[in-house]
Structure 1
Amino acid sequence: MQRYFVEKMEQNRFILEGDDRFHIVKVMRMGEGDQIICVGPGGRSAVCKIAEITGETIAADVVKWNDGTTELPIRVAIASGLPKGDKLEWIIQKGTEMGAHKFIPFAAARSVVKLDEKKSGKKAERWQKIAKEAAEQSHRNILPEVLAPVDFRALLTESETYDAKLVAYEEESRAGEASVFSDTLSKMAPGDSLLMIFGPEGGLSEGEVYLLKEHGFKLCGLGPRILRTETAPLYALAAISYHLELMR
């Protein structure tokens, strides 16, 4: 059953518009009486029946509220040093499917792609749309937030609100470090927040690593193999899911 994140609600009726209305009418070819799943701003989902279709909106009435959640037990934010090409789109799409709660692109010292404040807003809109589509496809209860690219100092400020903070650092993998990641997850409780930072293709600079450690980050390895910048966040999310969901 098709799933939609919906901001507008009137009592037990969801109001869909814009791209969602277009998708229902023009792509899915649905009509009055067909059923969809709507997720409200609070993250609760419901089976709904399309009650009315107008030129601007669709009204869908709640048939049954759903219990349970598909979210990870902890809130995981992925901070990625701006990579080349469409790698960030891949990270956002697949990371959303795997349970990430937030994405924070940042300009790293070794990022080939440079921060462009004029274009960052439009990029963030596109990234947010990718996250929305992935969240609907993977039946998420929460729509991940995608920030516009920030500089490194802003990333450090953002990090102050998290319960745990890790940096995936390839030098730790080379040195055989294998405990920090799992130990951190073992100490986390449901509802806690975790920020994980991943460098761009060239990795993080020594200066960036020093500042991250000064701001309470722990360096961790992700196994003996060196992972690409677009692979490492997905590896981490899969490991988090295995540790906190499949092993519980």
Structure 2
Amino acid sequence: MNLILFEAGDPGHPLPIDDPRARHLLTVLRRREGDRFDAGLVDGPRGKGTIVEIRANSLVLAFEWGAEPPPLAPLRLLVGLPRPQTARKILGEATALGVGGIDFFISDRGEPGYAQSTLWSSGEWRRHIVAGAEQAFCTRLPAVTWTQPLRSLLAGLSPGGTRIALDNYEAASPLSAPPGPQAPVALAFGPERGWSPEERALLREAGFSLRHLGPRVLRAETAVVAAVSLALAGLGRL
């Protein structure tokens, strides 16, 4: 982690010695009493932390906060709910790239049981977006949902901007083709088995154009990284 994130209520309280952040400070960064490290408040400012005291069961920390990072990109992902191990990768990588929102939905050809994974029920998903933000040296976290159907997500999109659905089968042009994206951008990714005809109809009705990422068949997490990178470049963010 390049930046260690803390929740708003953490400063002022000792950090338990078995907390992953404490272990990282002591065993990976090898910080000792009096040493400083890069820190941030979730959705708040970045700054510097100092290890004031190393106790048997906790660390006493002090913080000096600076400026807040810029807002996240006006880029929202709609992703057919994948298997949990794939969702974990998407959560971390998309957060590191700076997307503003990630909405997973149960698709016609997807596996409904994926929504019952402990990734979602235990709150584990948040750990992956925190790790992605720490990797990117950013405090801002994307909004994440996993319970809405595609129809509801489409109805709730911000008006205007660019809407693109990635499709290996019916897309006539690549994502990189002009015109470039205009903010806000919504990128939709189908499940491993692809979009159903009904889903394609919903997407077209909602103003989505179908684009592809070339002739190669990509894993979902690879497609997300590639598409987000192209969209961010089009928005002048890369």
With the length of structure 2 as denominator, give the TM-score of the two structures.
0.78
Are 1:8 and 1:16, in contact at CA under 8 Å, matched by a contact in 2?
no
Q: How big is each residue's C-alpha offset from its partner over 1:98-126, in whole Å with a ceiling of 9 and x where there is no partner? A: 22222111100000343646967425x11
The residue matched to 2:187 in structure 1 has which SS?
strand
Are 2:50 and 2:62, in contact at CA under 8 Å, matched by a contact in 1?
yes
| 2: CA distance, partners of 1:68 / 1:184 | 26
Are 2:84 and 2:117, in contact at CA under 8 Å, matched by a contact in 1?
no
User: 1:57 and 1:215, CA in 2 relative to 1: closer, same or farther beyond 3 A?
Assistant: farther
Percent of counterpart pairs with the same letter?
24
Partner of 1:151: 149
Partner of 2:197: 206
Alignment map for 1:71-82 (pairs within 5 Å): 74-82=73-81
Are 1:21 and 1:58, in contact at CA under 8 Å, matched by a contact in 2?
no
The residue matched to 2:179 in structure 1 has which SS?
helix
Partner of 1:170: 168
| 2: CA distance, partners of 1:242 / 1:7 | 31
Unaligned residue ranges in structure 2 (runs of 5+): none
Once the two structures are overlaid, the 10-residue window that deviates more, 202-211 or 138-147, is 138-147
Pairing 1:99–2:98 present: yes
The residue matched to 1:133 in structure 2 has which SS?
helix
User: 1:130 and 1:52, CA in 2 relative to 1: closer, same or farther beyond 3 A?
Assistant: same
Pairing 1:22–2:19 present: yes
Pairing 1:245–2:233 present: no
User: 1:208 and 1:43, CA in 2 relative to 1: closer, same or farther beyond 3 A?
Assistant: same
Are 1:83 and 1:113, in contact at CA under 8 Å, matched by a contact in 2?
no
Specify the code of the residue in structure 1 equivalent to 2:107: A
Are 2:47 and 2:63, in contact at CA under 8 Å, matched by a contact in 1?
no
Q: How big is each residue's C-alpha offset from its partner over 1:16-71, in whole Å with a ceiling of 9 and x where there is no partner? A: 67789813433422454221223234443112323467767744220x625765x6
| 2: CA distance, partners of 1:80 / 1:20 | 37
Are 1:84 and 1:113, in contact at CA under 8 Å, matched by a contact in 2?
no
> Hey, which of these two has a bigger chunk of helix by percent?
1
| 2: CA distance, partners of 1:59 / 1:40 | 14
The residue matched to 2:104 in structure 1 has which SS?
strand
| 2: CA distance, partners of 1:92 / 1:25 | 24
Are 2:22 and 2:59, in contact at CA under 8 Å, matched by a contact in 1?
no
Pairing 1:122–2:118 present: no
Q: How big is each residue's C-alpha offset from its partner over 1:142-162, in whole Å with a ceiling of 9 and x where there is no partner? A: 122322332223322332467
> Pairwise CA RMSD of aligned residues?
3.4
Q: How big is each residue's C-alpha offset from its partner over 1:192-218, in whole Å with a ceiling of 9 and x where there is no partner? A: 432211001111111111112212222
Specify the code of the residue in structure 2 equivalent to 1:3: L
Structure 1 residue 181, shift from structure 2 partner: 5.9
Aligned residue pair count: 232
| 1: CA distance, partners of 2:48 / 2:12 | 14
The residue matched to 1:242 in structure 2 has which SS?
helix
Partner of 2:108: 109
Equivalent position to 1:138, from 136, 139, 147? 136
